[in-house]
């Protein structure tokens, strides 16, 4: 369980990092190392040089503008979880972060590293998918490229990230001023481990308490996290029957996979139930804000 040899570089700027990545096809970005270092130890990955981006100041931190919250790629998951801005303005991400690994892995693991890795059962990519956050890369040529989640996550650990590119930040929409509730549910074999099925939901209410907008996403059941069209809930009061009917219909053609941990049919049933629970949690959260 010892990695093979590689060189190590710790650039101070994005330009410097991109230069090293452009010069060597086998160079790899090292962020929190919570996924990459195990892969090195098991020799599933054998890069020529690791480009440690964690000390590039421009890639850290959380900034709020009029309608977005931008999160620097190497912002640690623990820092994002502790952030008042994220709790207040991107509450679904705050809920998802609680399920990402354990306190020690969150102390090192980064928000951008999880997205760049693109594990279909990872919680941060699911929150990105539900909220339609933008994924921003800087390519070899120094030009910025922006991706919508559905164009970025294309398979298990497979993304459309540009060759030699560096994920620099994620741009999340800020929550609406109207009551906005969120829910996040998953089943896993151990606390905070990768899930077999997961669901994230967000609902916005009208002044009369009916649903103005509902969003839903399912993770861990197939090749990528998927956004689910649940617009049928708009205008309803989000009763248990409303939710059940809409979820069953919306997930009727959900594709799920079999593996060692769970069968495809189990995943399908779990996805439906978790989606219902997440939407009900989101509704109750929003109603509480409406008072």
Q: Which residues of this chain interact with ligand FAD, rule CB under 6 A?
A: 28-36, 53, 73, 100-101, 105, 109-110, 112-114, 116-117, 119, 122-124, 166-167, 192-194
Residue given tokens 């980064």 in the structure block:
110
Beta carbon of residue 289, minimum distance to another protein (angstroms, whole number) = 25
Compute CA 5 distance to the chain's CA centroid, rounded to the nearest angstrom. Answer: 31
188 makes contact with another protein (CB under 8 A): no
Compute CA 199 distance to the chain's CA centroid, rounded to the nearest angstrom. Answer: 12
**Sign of the torsion angle spanned by Cα atoms 156, 157, 158, 159:** positive
98 near 188, Cβ under 8 Å? no
Q: What angle do CA 289, 290, 291 make, to 5 degrees?
A: 85
Given the complex with another protein, which of 107 and 254 has the nearer CB atom? Answer: 107
Helix (H) or strand (E) holding 188: strand 180-188
Beta carbon of residue 108, minimum distance to another protein (angstroms, whole number) = 5
Token duo for residue 113: 């590293």
23, 42, 88, 248: which one binds another protein (CB under 8 A) = 42
1 makes contact with another protein (CB under 8 A): yes
Residue 103 binds what, of ligand FAD, another protein, none (CB under 5 to 8 Å, by partner type)? another protein
What is the C-alpha to C-alpha distance for residues 117 and 37, in angstroms, rounded to an integer? 13
Given the complex with another protein, which of 3 and 162 has the nearer CB atom? Answer: 3
Beta carbon of residue 117, minimum distance to ligand FAD (angstroms, whole number) = 4
Backbone phi, then psi, for 126, in 5-degree steps? Answer: -65, -45
Given the complex with ligand FAD, which of 53 and 270 has the nearer CB atom? Answer: 53
Q: Which residues bind another protein (CB under 8 A)?
A: 1-8, 10, 30, 33-34, 37-38, 40-42, 50, 52, 54, 78, 101-105, 107-108, 190-192
């Amino acid at each position: 369980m010892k990695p093979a040899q590689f060189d190590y570089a710790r650039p101070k700027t994005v330009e410097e990092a991109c230069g090293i990545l452009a010069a060597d096809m086998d160079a790899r970005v090292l962020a929190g190392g919570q996924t990459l270092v195990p892969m090195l130890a098991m020799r599933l990955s054998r890069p020529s040089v690791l480009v440690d981006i964690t000390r590039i100041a421009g890639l850290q931190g959380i900034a709020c503008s009029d309608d977005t919250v931008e999160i620097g790629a190497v912002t640690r998951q623990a820092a994002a979880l502790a952030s008042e801005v994220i709790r207040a303005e991107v509450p679904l991400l705050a809920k998802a972060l609680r399920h990402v690994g354990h306190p020690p892995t969150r102390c090192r693991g980064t928000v951008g590293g999880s997205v760049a890795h693109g594990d279909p059962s990872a919680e941060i990519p699911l929150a990105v998918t539900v909220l339609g956050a933008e994924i921003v890369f800087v390519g070899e040529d120094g030009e910025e490229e922006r991706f919508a989640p559905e164009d970025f996550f294309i398979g298990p650990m497979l993304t459309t990230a540009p060759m030699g590119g560096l994920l620099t930040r994620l741009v999340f929409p800020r929550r609406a001023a109207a009551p906005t509730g969120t829910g996040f549910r998953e089943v896993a074999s151990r606390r905070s481990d990768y899930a077999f099925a997961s669901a994230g939901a967000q609902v916005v209410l009208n002044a009369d308490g009916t649903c103005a907008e509902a969003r839903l996403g399912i993770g861990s059941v197939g090749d990528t996290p998927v956004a689910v069209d649940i617009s049928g809930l708009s205008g309803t009061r989000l009763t248990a029957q409303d939710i059940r009917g809409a979820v069953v219909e919306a997930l009727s053609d959900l594709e799920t996979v079999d593996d060692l941990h769970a069968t495809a049919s189990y995943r399908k049933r779990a996805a439906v139930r978790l989606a219902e629970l997440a939407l009900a949690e989101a509704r109750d959260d929003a109603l509480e804000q409406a008072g």
